[in-house]
């Protein structure tokens, strides 16, 4: 910690108009290490008034920032990316301290987060427009792309770095300025990004970071007419609240919300590949990802073999503090997360599920969840209806392809889905039948800066990453030129 403080990366103030500040009221929120519950620091608990100042600062910076050439903005993003890569290990350490995930995963998240900065630095140079053939000879029609304006960026605790860069990088590349509100559980990763942005030469006011409890900040971000867009990643409950709050001033919205991903294993699957995919997609970040496999649907012919192999892998997992070498499952984010997992598991056991794995050696501490495989899961169980957000893999048995599709789509969510088969025909049939924004065939890894990321149904609106990610921060202006 001392080293991180000496390097200036562990900041306990928020960033408004280029100034590092405490809350005017002096109020602060403690942040604790999920592995020990020890307080690692505190951040200002800012009010609506300070949020208003941050919005004003973003508005003041907007004119000069949008006036820069695309190449100038790209160069600043490239410099920010360079600093993130230079400080991968420092940023990973901060992330693990406040979020709990294993250090190697945290370093992976920093590289993933940095990849969006690089990608959108490149995309900044390619913001074009279109010309449209005129219906009359004396006119010309051109469509210009312009930045949306001041954007509010609200992010969750499960990817405290990458969920910010996936939004801030395209916003800045497009010429927008931002007010970032990170999760109150993981503000230090956001503040460290602010330090590096400042060092990269990104001008004061372009990135503002407000910290603290969400109610007052959220109310101001929703109501303030200067904020032209809200980009949110988090729960469907809060997403829907923000959508209602943004309605009065008709703000643009991007919503990356919860999921309930099915992971389907057909009889003709490569089972070893499917086990690897299940481990990656279910247990990464201790099962606390929005694209986590939440329901593992296995066809009757391979159910027992798959269950045995998965149970063996899970029983051998190493659970412990994220800072300890070799740990695969770190602590859960907070006590509420542990309660939810316990509730899901007891409900499943009461309704007939069976634990198929044995418990790995568990460390001391209140916030560790035992990784487990549950057999005989059924759709009436709590864990079938909502994200468990923990290292629990429930196995559902199915007989036919049609039954698997009905089960998979039987959720109001539509973020990610995975399936395993060696049949080409089935691959296309199933991919087309799944009502999800992202589908993985024979892979459990679907997150990359080069491909669109986002959901359908109650999993959200809009897409991040890829070429389309920058469009979320651009308006079209149709320019009609007459009298030629
Ligand atoms: P959350 O909705 O509780 O909080 C997300 C953010 O919203 C936090 O910064 C929080 O402080 C803020 N917030 C809460 N109430 C607010 C209000 N009234 N006004 C303004 N902001 C408010 O979600 P979480 O628990 O931090 O994250 C986990 C959830 O995020 C899961 O549902 C997960 O699936 C989802 N998620 C989705 C994606 C995706 O890309 N679709 C990615 C990661 C996480």
Q: Could you tell me the distance, in angstroms and rounded to a whole number, from the CA of residue 315 to the centre of ligand 1?
A: 31
DSSP 292-316: -EEEEEEEHHHHHHHHHHHHHHHHT
| Complex prediction ipTM | 0.96
Rounded CA gap, 274 and 260, in Å? 18
In ligand 1, the atom with minimum distance to the C-alpha of 239 is 2
Q: Which of 161, 189, 235 to mutate to test the pocket of ligand 1 (most atoms within 8 A of CB)?
A: 235
Q: How confident is the model at residue 1 (pLDDT cuts 50, 70, 90)?
A: confident
Question: 5 pLDDT exceeds 90?
Answer: no
Nearest CA to ligand 1 atom 13: 214
What average pLDDT does the segment 30-55 reach? 97
Q: If you ran DSSP here, which 8-state letter would residue 203 be given?
A: P
Do residues 396 and 297 lie in contact, with contact meaning Cβ atoms separated by under 8 Å?
yes
Residue of 4 and 135 predicted with greater confidence: 135
Q: Could you tell me the distance, in angstroms and rounded to a whole number, from the CA of residue 414 to the centre of ligand 1?
A: 17
Closest CA to 332 of 276, 287, 296, 273: 287
Contacts of 174 (CB under 8 A, 6+ apart): 124, 127, 145, 147, 148, 470, 473, 474
What residues form DSSP beta bridges with 180?
Answer: 153, 209
Percent helix, percent strand, percent coil in the chain, to nearest 5: 40, 20, 35
In ligand 1, the atom with minimum distance to the C-alpha of 415 is 41
- pTM of model > 0.95: yes
Question: What per-residue confidence (pLDDT) applies to 76?
Answer: 98
Residue carrying structure tokens 């503000």: 187
What average pLDDT does the segment 445-454 reach? 97
Q: Give the C-alpha distances (Å, rounded to integers) separating 222 from 17, 22, 133, 318, 459.
A: 20, 23, 39, 43, 20
110-162 residue pLDDT tens: 999 999 999 999 999 999 999 999 999 999 999 999 999 999 999 999 999 99
Residue carrying structure tokens 């006036």: 67
Residue carrying structure tokens 């051998």: 316
In ligand 1, the atom with minimum distance to the C-alpha of 237 is 2
Nearest CA to ligand 1 atom 18: 215
Q: Could you tell me the distance, in angstroms and rounded to a whole number, from the CA of residue 137 to the centre of ligand 1?
A: 52
Rounded CA gap, 474 and 465, in Å? 14
Do residues 420 and 403 lie in contact, with contact meaning Cβ atoms separated by under 8 Å?
no
Rounded CA gap, 111 and 90, in Å? 12
243-263 residue pLDDT tens: 999 999 999 999 999 999 999
Q: How confident is the model at residue 207 (pLDDT cuts 50, 70, 90)?
A: very high
Closest CA to 383 of 402, 363, 369, 403: 369
332 Cα distance to chain centroid? 16
Nearest CA to ligand 1 atom 14: 214
Question: 2 pLDDT exceeds 90?
Answer: no
Strands (E), 196-304: 207-209, 227-233, 252-256, 261-265, 293-299
Do residues 83 and 56 lie in contact, with contact meaning Cβ atoms separated by under 8 Å?
no
Helices (H) and strands (E) in the chain, counts: 15, 22
Do residues 180 and 207 lie in contact, with contact meaning Cβ atoms separated by under 8 Å?
yes
DSSP 320-354: S-TTSTT-SB---SSHHHHHHHHHHHHHHHHTT-E
Q: Could you tell me the distance, in angstroms and rounded to a whole number, from the CA of residue 458 to the centre of ligand 1?
A: 14
Question: 6 pLDDT exceeds 90?
Answer: no
| 256 in catalytic set | yes
Q: How confident is the model at residue 85 (pLDDT cuts 50, 70, 90)?
A: very high
Q: Which tokens go with 353?
A: 């599920």
In ligand 1, the atom with minimum distance to the C-alpha of 213 is 11
414 Cα distance to chain centroid? 15
Q: Which of 14, 98, 234 to mutate to test the pocket of ligand 1 (most atoms within 8 A of CB)?
A: 234
Q: Could you tell me the distance, in angstroms and rounded to a whole number, from the CA of residue 415 to the centre of ligand 1?
A: 15
Do residues 245 and 426 lie in contact, with contact meaning Cβ atoms separated by under 8 Å?
no
Rounded CA gap, 126 and 71, in Å? 10
Q: Which of 156, 160, 167, 187 to mutate to test the pocket of ligand 1 (most atoms within 8 A of CB)?
A: 156
Candidates 256, 328, 387, 449; catalytic one = 256
Q: Could you tell me the distance, in angstroms and rounded to a whole number, from the CA of residue 157 to the centre of ligand 1?
A: 7
Q: Kindly list the protein residues whose Cβ atom lies closer than 6 A to any atom of ligand 1.
A: 154-159, 163, 181-184, 214-215, 218, 233-235, 238, 241, 256-259, 290, 387, 415, 455, 460
What average pLDDT does the segment 284-303 reach? 98
The overall average pLDDT reported for the chain is 97
Nearest CA to ligand 1 atom 42: 290
In ligand 1, the atom with minimum distance to the C-alpha of 256 is 41
Question: 385 pLDDT exceeds 90?
Answer: yes
Contacts of 266 (CB under 8 A, 6+ apart): 299, 302, 401, 404, 419, 420, 421, 423, 426
What average pLDDT does the segment 306-325 reach? 98
Closest CA to 443 of 290, 281, 237: 281
Q: Could you tell me the distance, in angstroms and rounded to a whole number, from the CA of residue 183 to the centre of ligand 1?
A: 7
What average pLDDT does the segment 159-182 reach? 98
Q: If you ran DSSP here, which 8-state letter would residue 389 be given?
A: -
What residues form DSSP beta bridges with 141?
Answer: 132, 480
Q: How confident is the model at residue 471 (pLDDT cuts 50, 70, 90)?
A: very high
Do residues 175 and 169 lie in contact, with contact meaning Cβ atoms separated by under 8 Å?
no
321-362 residue pLDDT tens: 999 999 999 999 999 999 999 999 999 999 999 999 999 999
């Amino acid at each position: 910690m001392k080293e991180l403080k000496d390097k200036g990366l562990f900041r306990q103030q928020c960033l408004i108009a280029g100034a590092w500040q405490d809350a005017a009221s002096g109020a602060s929120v403690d942040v604790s290490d999920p592995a020990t519950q020890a307080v690692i620091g505190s951040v200002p608990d800012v009010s609506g008034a300070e949020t208003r100042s941050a919005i004003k600062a973003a508005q003041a910076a907007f004119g000069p920032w949008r006036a820069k050439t695309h190449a100038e903005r790209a160069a600043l993003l490239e410099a920010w990316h360079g600093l993130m890569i230079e400080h991968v290990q420092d940023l990973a350490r901060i992330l693990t301290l406040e979020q709990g995930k294993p250090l190697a995963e945290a370093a992976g998240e920093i590289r993933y987060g940095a990849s969006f900065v690089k990608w959108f630095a490149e995309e900044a140079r390619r913001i074009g427009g279109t010309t449209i053939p005129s219906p009359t000879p004396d006119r010309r029609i051109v469509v210009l792309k312009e930045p949306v304006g001041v954007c509010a960026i609200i992010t969750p605790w499960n990817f405290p770095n990458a969920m910010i860069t996936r939004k801030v990088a395209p916003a800045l590349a497009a010429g927008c300025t931002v007010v970032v509100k990170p999760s109150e559980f993981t503000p230090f990763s956001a503040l460290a990004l602010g330090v590096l942005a400042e060092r990269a030469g990104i001008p004061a006011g372009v990135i503002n970071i407000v910290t603290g409890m969400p109610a007052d900040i959220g109310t101001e971000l929703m109501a303030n007419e200067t904020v032209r867009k809200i980009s949110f990643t988090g729960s469907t409950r809060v997403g829907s609240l923000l959508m209602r709050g943004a309605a009065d001033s008709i703000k643009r919205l991007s919503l990356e919300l919860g999921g309930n991903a099915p992971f389907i294993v057909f009889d003709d699957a490569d089972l070893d590949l499917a086990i690897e995919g299940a481990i990656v997609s279910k247990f990464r970040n201790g099962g606390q990802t929005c694209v986590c496999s939440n329901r593992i649907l296995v066809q009757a012919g391979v159910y027992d073999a798959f269950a045995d192999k998965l149970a063996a892998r899970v029983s051998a997992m190493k659970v412990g503090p994220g800072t300890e070498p070799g740990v695969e499952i770190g602590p859960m984010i907070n006590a509420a997360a542990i309660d939810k997992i316990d509730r899901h598991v007891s409900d499943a056991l009461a309704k007939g599920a069976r634990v198929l794995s044995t418990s790995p050696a568990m460390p001391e501490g209140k916030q560790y969840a035992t990784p487990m495989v549950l057999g005989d899961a059924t759709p009436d169980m709590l864990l079938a209806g909502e994200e468990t957000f923990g290292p629990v893999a429930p196995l559902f048995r199915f007989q036919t392809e049609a039954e698997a599709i009905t089960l998979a789509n039987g959720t109001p969510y539509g973020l990610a889905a995975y399936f395993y088969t060696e049949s080409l025909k089935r691959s296309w049939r199933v991919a087309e039948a799944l009502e999800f924004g992202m589908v993985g065939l024979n892979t459990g890894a679907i997150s990359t800066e080069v491909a669109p990321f986002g959901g359908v149904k109650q999993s959200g609106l809009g897409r991040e990453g890829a070429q389309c990610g920058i469009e979320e921060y651009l308006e079209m202006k149709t320019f009609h030129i007459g009298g030629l």
